[in-house]
Amino acid sequence: MSMLENPAVKYRAAATVRLPDRRWPDAVIDRAPIWLSTDLRDGNQALIEPMDVQRKLRLFETLVRVGFKEIEVGFPSASQADFDFVRTLIEERLIPDDVTIQVLTPARAHLIERTFESVQGARQVIVHLYNATAPVMRRVVLGLDVAGIIDLATSHARLLAEHAARQSGTRWTFQYSPEMFSDTELEVSLQVVDAVTAVWNARPEQRCIINLPSTVEHCTANVFADMVEWMHRHIARRDGVVLCVHPHNDRGTGTAAAELAIMAGADRVEGCLFGNGERTGNLDLVNVALNLYTQGVAPGLDFSDIDELRRTVEYCNQLPVHPRHPYVGDLVYTSFSGSHQDAIKKAFAARREGDAWEIPYLPIDPKDLGRSYEAVIRVNSQSGKGGISYLLETEYGLELPRRLQIEFSQVVQAVMDDSGKELNASDIWAIFGREYGLGRVDDAIAQPPCITDRGHGQVELQASLDGAWAGGPAPLLLDGIGNGPVDAFVDALSKATGDAIQVLDYHEHSIGAGAQARAAAYLELRVGGGASLFGVGIDANIATASIKAVLSGWHRAACSPSTVNQQDATV
Ligand X SMILES: CC(=O)SCCNC(=O)CCNC(=O)[C@H](O)C(C)(C)COP(=O)(O)OP(=O)(O)OC[C@H]1O[C@@H](n2cnc3c(N)ncnc32)[C@H](O)[C@@H]1OP(=O)(O)O
* Binding site listing: 42, 246, 248, 282
Tell me which stretch binds ligand KIV (CB under 6 A): 207-215, 466-474, 481-489, 536-544: 207-215
Nearest residue (CB) to ligand KIV, 199 versus 272: 272
**Of the candidate residues 17, 142, 446, 481, the single one contacting ligand X (CB under 6 A):** 142
SS3 track for 368-410: HHCCCCHHHECECCCCCHHHHHHHHHHHHCCCCCHHHHHHHHH
Site string for ligand X, 8-47 (x = CB under 6 A): ----------------------------------x--x--
Interacting partner of 532 out of ligand KIV, ligand X, none (Cβ under 5 to 8 A depending on kind): none
Gap between the Cα atoms of 367 and 103, Å rounded: 36
CA distances from 350 to 82, 347, 372 (A): 54, 5, 19
Number of residues that bind ligand KIV (CB under 6 A): 10
Gap between the Cα atoms of 522 and 534, Å rounded: 7
Interacting partner of 107 out of ligand KIV, ligand X, none (Cβ under 5 to 8 A depending on kind): ligand X
Q: Is 275 in the site for ligand KIV (CB under 6 A)?
A: no
- What is the β-pairing status of strands 445-455 and 458-465? antiparallel
Interacting partner of 45 out of ligand KIV, ligand X, none (Cβ under 5 to 8 A depending on kind): ligand X
**Running DSSP on this structure, what letter comes out for residue 131?**
E
Site string for ligand KIV, 16-55 (x = CB under 6 A): --------------------------x-------------
Is the separation of the CB atoms in 494 and 551 below 8 Å? no
Tell me which stretch binds ligand KIV (CB under 6 A): 142-150, 199-207, 208-216, 527-535: 208-216
Q: Is 130 in the site for ligand KIV (CB under 6 A)?
A: yes
Radius of gyration, alpha carbons of the chain = 35
| H or E segment to which residue 543 belongs | helix 542-559
Alpha-carbon dihedral sign for residues 191, 192, 198, 201: negative
Nearest residue (CB) to ligand X, 135 versus 397: 135
- What is the β-pairing status of strands 518-527 and 501-511? antiparallel
Beta-bridge partners for 171: 124
Interacting positions 168-187 with ligand KIV (CB under 6 A): 177, 179
Residue 506: exposed, middle, or buried by beta-carbon count in 10 A (0-12, 13-18, 19+)? Answer: middle
Any alpha helices (H) in 40-174, and if so which ranges?
53-66, 80-91, 109-118, 135-136, 146-166
Interacting partner of 211 out of ligand KIV, ligand X, none (Cβ under 5 to 8 A depending on kind): ligand KIV
Nearest alpha-carbon partner for 89 in 112, 110, 64: 64
Kindly state the smallest distance separating residue 41's Cβ from ligand X, in Å.
8
**Of the candidate residues 33, 43, 213, 281, the single one contacting ligand KIV (CB under 6 A):** 213
SS3 content of the chain, % helix, strand, coil (to 5): 45, 20, 35
Residues 6+ apart with CB under 8 A from 433: 439
Number of residues that bind ligand X (CB under 6 A): 16
Report phi then psi at 192, rounded to 5: -65, -45
Kindly state the smallest distance separating residue 137's Cβ from ligand KIV, in Å.
11
Residues 6+ apart with CB under 8 A from 413: 381
Interacting positions 222-261 with ligand KIV (CB under 6 A): 246, 248
Tell me which stretch binds ligand KIV (CB under 6 A): 209-217, 235-243, 303-311, 389-397: 209-217
Site string for ligand X, 183-222 (x = CB under 6 A): --------------------------------x-------
Site string for ligand X, 88-127 (x = CB under 6 A): ------------------xxx--x----------------
Other C-beta atoms lying within 10 Å of the C-beta of residue 104:
25
Interacting partner of 246 out of ligand KIV, ligand X, none (Cβ under 5 to 8 A depending on kind): ligand KIV
Kindly state the smallest distance separating residue 87's Cβ from ligand X, in Å.
17
**Of the candidate residues 37, 100, 118, 131, the single one contacting ligand X (CB under 6 A):** 131
Is the separation of the CB atoms in 122 and 90 below 8 Å? yes
Kindly state the smallest distance separating residue 27's Cβ from ligand KIV, in Å.
24
SS3 call for 228: helix
Chain contacts with ligand X (rule: CB under 6 A) = 42, 45, 75, 77-78, 106-108, 111, 130-131, 141-142, 152, 179, 215
Chain contacts with ligand KIV (rule: CB under 6 A) = 42, 104, 130, 177, 179, 211, 213, 215, 246, 248
